[in-house]
Structure 1
Amino acid sequence: MTAINSRGRERLLEAADCLRLLLVEDDPGDAFLFQELLNEAEPDVEITVASTLAEALAGLSPLVQCVIVDLSLPDARGLDALRQVLNAAPHTAVLVLTGLTDTHVGVEAVAAGAQDYLIKQDVDGALLSRAIRYAIERKRADESERQLVEARVVSRENARLERGLLPVPILADPGLGHDARYRPGRDMALLGGDFYDTVQTDDGTVHVVIGDVCGHGADEASLGVRLRMAWRTLVLAGHTGERLLHTLDTVLTHERWSEEIFTTLCMFAIAPDRRGARMWRAGHPRPLLFDGDGVRPVPDEPRGPALGLLPGMDWPAAELELGDDWALMIYTDGLVEGKIGSGDERLDLDGLLRLAGAAHARGDRGGVLIDGLIREAERLNGEPLTDDLAVLLLSRGDER
């Protein structure tokens, strides 16, 4: 290899204190010239020389920012050497070295994944430093584009899953408002162990459910989806009340992976005239009732234990009078388990009642009401709520 003296000094990477390169060159003379050129153009560069592909593969590490590969090595030739380097260091920039008569090989190398190629006879210090810098930046740009494409694919898949797994209410009554919010507690998760659903049956009754599988993770999310689907199927088949809950309890005990797994649940059957409802609670937080008199929790009794805890238990119904203008809000405990300030005090039902009363007095309704409550709970908590969270608000008349 012949070399032309460098015509200037260029920083290889402005932000880096030391650039680490791996030079794969079996000719000691050529390797020495490359090191001299690089040291002249950039004295802070750290160069490791490997004379064989095997030695190069053993020397690769995440600290190496660029690999310069001669495609004529004793243990690998041509694009085979390049492919092995690319497979071993998929996130590292790669430059290939070719001769004057092999420029077509350089073009093929770029098509195979290298960032650029250099003709040995034309290399000087400035050209070499620029080529390395551009190769590293081009690799970073390629990685950023790849991550963006992957994020878009994940986003599309998440949207598809969301359409398939989160419920679309079966609700034909135009006089009812239906607003819901759902937030899984895990980062980047689509679903948590909470679930909800709404189904209007042929007799005009509107059935509503919300549930919370204990624990956090993909298994809990999967179980929540199965329980919701089982609930919807049972409602559409004509089941309701205790009969439905006993069947759902049986489904849970057969589907869960541990006897310690339980599920809290609250269920309503709103009468066809919309002036009354029956409620069943299985260890679940008390819903809120909004009407012209303000906000109050539904009665605490009667109620039963969470599903999966005590076989053969009963879940008695509570009768509710709703009137003409009302809203029922059911939620999971992720909404009320956030802290208040720096101590250990939780928001709990009393705190939620205060927030809901203030929002209702301001005239907040529907989705605006739910979003405001979540924001206030997060503000009091000092950070986003970490537990799975689901809220469903069904409203009628002036409370819509």
Structure 2
Amino acid sequence: MHDTAPRDEDVASRAPGDDGAPLRILVVEDDEGDAVLVREHLQDGGLVHETVWVRTVDEALAHLDVDCVLLDLGLPDAMGLAALQRVLAAGAPPVVVLTGLTGTDAGVEAVAAGAQDFLVKGDVDADLLARAVRYAVQRRRLEDTDRALYQSLVRAAETTRLERALLPTPVVSDTGMEVRVAYRAGRDGLLGGDFYDVVERADGTVLAMIGDVCGHGPDEAALGATLRTAWRTLVLAEIPAGEILGLMERVLVAERARPEIFTTASMLAVQPDRRTADLYLAGHPVPLLLGPPAVLLPPDGRGRALGIPVGGGWPAQRLDLGASWRLLLYTDGLLEATVAGGAQRLGKAGLLDVVDATVRGTATTDGDVRPDEDPLLGRMLSGVRALHGGDLVDDAAVVLVGWDG
């Protein structure tokens, strides 16, 4: 049985819920006289409300899309706390127990079991009932808000931990080396599987790496963090550069959630003379040699992506860089950006144009650079974002290393 109270002409003088809408109240009561009395109390208590009346717990379970439940504990299909437990287990909104039981223990037990309040029918008047409903609804809303805030804080802490693992501070003591890094999360703001790192070894070799776990989400981010940590560990353990990608692949295979997960990576080993470097490609986009004009490095030593069960390794490609140079490593989130939201992708040619405009200082997107972001790379990422027409769908990470002899 449905009952709406008060009448429309009375609504303006009553106290509605926070959103201005009537509170929806489910009355679970097998005695029709008591149900009528409850509705009269609610109306007299000045509460804008709509009530639904049912006689049993089974009926109540089909009407839990309400703001509050007024529950009798003496029902045909459930007695005592069993009725409350069934309703709560079904995901009920705040429950106020309204019963003829007068034992003190019953009230304490009901509240301990999850009821917001316990009222004895013979002691209830209009003001007390309306106040109990209001308080129950507000307490639940506060609980939900606190829970959502806690979950948000937990997610923020998890994101911060992942950021530290995925996006570390480069460890390079050679002050003559130019090292810049930047990262932008995709449209949903969540970290994906992009990762990078730059580390200088004791002999002066500087190793830079950027990688991308296929997919997007917490599992991919966690795997990316694992691979980044493994890479730095291998570098610091003085493992020869030519063996690092193979060992990373072993970590990937052991840690990935599904056998189809793979990772692309690009690794650069800059020799102590700073004039030569070895490039290792594992299915990853070829780095750029900055100018202007910027050019793609020749992909002479391209190897397969990590985790792909085919033959072949990752041969070193020797680069003769000269006395002054800058190299840019990046993930494919930049290449896959679309132009003005259309079907055309930015691609390598478009990225080269953005890079040249940034280096020349002719880019017009400085306002989008974040305060904690590297100015040069921030303008570069902002240039891609401006062409795309908004936040990129995929993550984008960039690493710049350079030397001016």
TM-score, normalised with respect to structure 2: 0.77
Is this contact kept in 1: 2:16–2:48, CA < 8 A? no
State the match for 1:151 in structure 2: 152
Please point out which of 34, 38, 51 is paired with 2:38.
34
AA aligned to 1:321 is L
Task: Please tell me whether residue 373 in structure 1 is matched to residue 380 in structure 2.
Answer: yes
AA aligned to 2:398 is V
Shift of 1:334: 0.4
Is this contact kept in 2: 1:171–1:206, CA < 8 A? yes
Q: Which shows bigger deviation, 198-207 or 116-125?
A: 116-125
Is this contact kept in 1: 2:278–2:316, CA < 8 A? no
AA aligned to 2:28 is V
Is this contact kept in 2: 1:35–1:47, CA < 8 A? no
Is this contact kept in 2: 1:329–1:391, CA < 8 A? yes
Within 5 Å, give how 1:123-162 maps onto structure 2. Answer: 123-125=124-126, 127-162=128-163
Q: C-alpha distance in 1, partners of 2:402/2:217? A: 32
Q: C-alpha distance in 1, partners of 2:200/2:361? A: 31
Q: C-alpha distance in 2, partners of 1:301/1:93? A: 64
State the match for 2:292 in structure 1: 294
> Percent identity at matched positions?
43
Q: Deviations 1:268-325 (Å, cap 9, x if unpaired)?
A: 11122434323233332232334xx53513422423133337513562413132525x
Q: 1:121 to 1:281 in 2, by over 3 A?
A: same
Q: Secondary structure at the match of 1:138?
A: helix
Q: 1:34 to 1:259 in 2, by over 3 A?
A: closer
Q: C-alpha distance in 2, partners of 1:10/1:318? A: 80
AA aligned to 2:183 is Y
State the match for 2:3 in structure 1: none
Q: C-alpha distance in 1, partners of 2:51/2:342? A: 52
Shift of 1:385: 1.1
Q: C-alpha distance in 1, partners of 2:251/2:137? A: 56
How many residue pairs get aligned? The number is 383
Q: Deviations 1:84-133 (Å, cap 9, x if unpaired)?
A: 4333335x122222569657755665565433444534544455344423
Q: C-alpha distance in 2, partners of 1:351/1:387? A: 17
Is this contact kept in 2: 1:302–1:316, CA < 8 A? no
**Aligned-pair Cα RMSD in Å:** 3.8
State the match for 2:208 in structure 1: 208
Within 5 Å, give how 1:176-215 maps onto structure 2. Answer: 176-183=177-184, 185=186, 187=188, 189-190=190-191, 192-215=192-215
Q: Deviations 1:250-274 (Å, cap 9, x if unpaired)?
A: 6656766777654432211112243
State the match for 1:67 in structure 2: 69
Shift of 1:330: 0.8
Q: Which shows bigger deviation, 341-350 or 281-290?
A: 281-290
AA aligned to 1:68 is L
Q: Secondary structure at the match of 2:303?
A: coil
Please point out which of 392, 399, 403 is paired with 1:385.
392
Is this contact kept in 1: 2:98–2:119, CA < 8 A? yes
Shift of 1:148: 0.6
Q: C-alpha distance in 1, partners of 2:108/2:223? A: 53
Q: 1:218 to 1:127 in 2, by over 3 A?
A: closer
Q: C-alpha distance in 2, partners of 1:166/1:80? A: 52
Q: 1:113 to 1:287 in 2, by over 3 A?
A: same
State the match for 1:276 in structure 2: 276
Q: Secondary structure at the match of 1:294?
A: coil
Q: C-alpha distance in 2, partners of 1:250/1:300? A: 28
Q: Deviations 1:163-212 (Å, cap 9, x if unpaired)?
A: 3455453433344343323345484644x332222222121101111122
AA aligned to 2:214 is C
Within 5 Å, give how 1:247-326 maps onto structure 2. Answer: 248=248, 262-290=262-290, 294-307=292-305, 308=308, 310-312=310-312, 315-324=315-324, 326=325
State the match for 1:58 in structure 2: 61
AA aligned to 2:79 is A
Is this contact kept in 2: 1:334–1:387, CA < 8 A? yes
Gaps of 5+ in 2: 1-5
Q: C-alpha distance in 1, partners of 2:15/2:54? A: 21
Q: C-alpha distance in 1, partners of 2:82/2:393? A: 50
Q: Deviations 1:321-353 (Å, cap 9, x if unpaired)?
A: 2525x5432110102211111432222222222
Q: C-alpha distance in 1, partners of 2:341/2:156? A: 36
AA aligned to 1:343 is G
Task: Please tell me whether residue 23 in structure 1 is matched to residue 27 in structure 2.
Answer: yes
Shift of 1:39: 5.3
